[in-house]
Structure 1
Amino acid sequence: MPSGAAHDPTSGEANPAEAARAYQIALVDDDRNILTTVSIALKSEGFATRLYSDGETALKALLENPPDLAVFDIKMPKMDGLELLARVREHSALPVIFLTSKDDENDEEMGLELGADDYIAKPFSLRLLIARIRAILRRAEPPRETSAGDEPPMPIGPMIRQGRLFMDPARHTVTWDGRNVSLTVTEFLILEALAIRPGVIKSRNQLMDAAYPDDVFVDDRTVDSHIKRMRRKFRSVDPQFGAIETLYGAGYSFNDA
């Protein structure tokens, strides 16, 4: 086990047989009780876990052998969760959820601006955390071919062309005027919900339903933060981007007329 990694009494790194069938979830938190409790809950749901007690140790492991998803605390020794996410985002689009006692709006905003896919404040429900993990993994999962006896994959929406926007749900790619725009899975689903019906105003509740299935609760400012970050990403390739419009008190719409 890497130096600084927390001891996982139920196995730590998954064995090869388990890895072939289980999603790998990395947990990074300096609270041993949180690591143990969440790890046990995830393993009972069929996940494999990797546990790390500080961001510095986790960074090396996450880049050398990326898991399917990571859950970060914010306040940690050596390297906090915000810096860890920023360093990971320099190399990877790894899905990340923040799980932290720091529930200040500025921390949530900063985490989402850096590219977190979700944010859950402590104290938290294990059921809620697992529901969000499953939702994000489903969005990030690439399409696969099926053989006899397999369950059919979840349907993937058609490619979307609206003005200068092109979205390919099967490959999770987005371009604007021919230039790539890198979106998280949550951002992608919010944009898809807007672009599939251009000019139609979607309320925050409708966008939350599109991006957070399974009755997962998300407050209004989380959607607003995703929209703000998306606009910033598009403006990095087109400073005049204005296709995501706000109707105050009603919601958002997409219009590239």
Structure 2
Amino acid sequence: MKILMIEDNQSVAQMMGMFFQKEKWEYANAYDGEDGLAQFKEAPDDWDIITLDLNLPKMDGMEVARHIREISRTVPLIMLTARDSESDQVLGLDIGADDYVTKPFSPMTLIARIKALHRRVDIQEVPAAAAEEADDDFDVSTKHFRLSTKTREAYLDDQQIEGLTPKEFDLLRTLARNPKQVFSREQLLQLVWEYEYYGDERTVDAHIKKLRQKIEKAGPQVIQTVWGVGYKFDDSELDK
């Protein structure tokens, strides 16, 4: 794996570099936004993962993320930030981040998230021809909802739920495959993000919020909050 770490705190970057070396990963550091974007532009296809701090000199991390997503819609992007508000998380995810880690963080937490994201990307890479042949092959199919893992598409009352990020799709699939089952945030972190629970439940809440916004553009809301517990998928109410 080859990682580009855009991080202005040299101590953090150097510490993570030691952990990357231990994993036998290649990596490069950039200490400001302009340098990080320039390194990415030189060879966009060379990077397997980008970790991006939001608080950067010369060019803000949000702006760097926007430029990266203009060049590549698929390169995995993990945002690192000391900011702690839900609005920052949602904005980062809306720009196209795949995950969000709040500082201070354990190095092993970031390593685990990088590994999980890299595994998920490998699984999701389906040849275009195979995807086209699977247009009518749905893993989940009810009166109101259909979802295909092969085409990475989901429909509500025959209206496609558009603009789903890889993480939003995985979250929707996990819930829809188990209708009416209530999942805690900890369970969703383990099932969708594929790493053990490290206390950042807001990652789940931020993704649920964005996912709901996209579902509402296609039809009625099918992801419900079970207060004090977590979330569930339920489209049975649409029959009433």
Q: TM-score range with shorter-chain normalisation?
A: 0.7 to 0.9
Which one has a larger percent helix, Structure 1 or Structure 2? 2
Structure 2 counterpart of 1:152: none
Structure 2 counterpart of 1:167: 147
The CA deviation at 1:105 is 4.1
Structure 1 counterpart of 2:50: 70
Counterpart CA distance in 2 for 1:138 and 1:75 is 28
1:50 and 2:28 aligned: yes
Counterpart CA distance in 2 for 1:59 and 1:41 is 23
Structure 2 counterpart of 1:244: 223
Q: How does 1:14-93 map to 2 (within 5 A)?
A: 23-63=1-41, 64-66=43-45, 67-90=47-70, 91-93=72-74
Q: How does 1:134-145 map to 2 (within 5 A)?
A: 134-142=115-123
Whether the aligned pair in 2 keeps the contact of 1:93 and 1:184 (CA below 8 Å) is: no
Instruction: Map Cα deviations across residues 214-240 of structure 1 (whole Å, 9 max, x no partner).
Output: 32414332211110111223334x2x3
Runs of 4+ in 1 over 4 A off after TM superposition: none
Counterpart CA distance in 1 for 2:220 and 2:111 is 36
Match of 1:128 among 88, 109, 121: 109
The amino acid across from 1:43 in the alignment is Q
SS in 1 for 2:3: strand
The CA deviation at 1:138 is 1.0
Match of 1:227 among 199, 202, 208: 208
Structure 1 counterpart of 2:168: 187
Counterpart CA distance in 1 for 2:212 and 2:85 is 23
The CA deviation at 1:161 is 2.8
Counterpart CA distance in 2 for 1:113 and 1:74 is 14
Q: Once the two structures are aligned, what percentage of the paired residues are identical?
A: 33
Counterpart CA distance in 2 for 1:143 and 1:232 is 23
With the length of structure 2 as denominator, give the TM-score of the two structures. Answer: 0.78
SS in 2 for 1:141: helix
Unmatched segments (≥5 aa) in structure 1? 1-22, 145-157
Counterpart CA distance in 2 for 1:81 and 1:110 is 11
Unmatched segments (≥5 aa) in structure 2? 126-137
Cα 1:249/1:124, change in 2 over 3 Å: closer
With the length of structure 1 as denominator, give the TM-score of the two structures. Answer: 0.74
The amino acid across from 2:20 in the alignment is L
SS in 1 for 2:120: helix
SS in 1 for 2:196: coil
Structure 1 counterpart of 2:232: 253
SS in 2 for 1:46: coil
Instruction: Map Cα deviations across residues 83-106 of structure 1 (whole Å, 9 max, x no partner).
Output: 222333344132211222333444
What is the total number of aligned residue pairs between the two structures?
A: 220
The CA deviation at 1:43 is 2.1
Whether the aligned pair in 2 keeps the contact of 1:131 and 1:214 (CA below 8 Å) is: yes
Instruction: Map Cα deviations across residues 125-165 of structure 1 (whole Å, 9 max, x no partner).
Output: 11111011101111111378xxxxxxxxxxxxx83334454
Q: How does 1:213-224 map to 2 (within 5 A)?
A: 213-224=194-205
Structure 1 counterpart of 2:132: none
SS in 1 for 2:123: coil
Whether the aligned pair in 1 keeps the contact of 2:161 and 2:214 (CA below 8 Å) is: no
1:114 and 2:92 aligned: no
Counterpart CA distance in 2 for 1:119 and 1:62 is 20
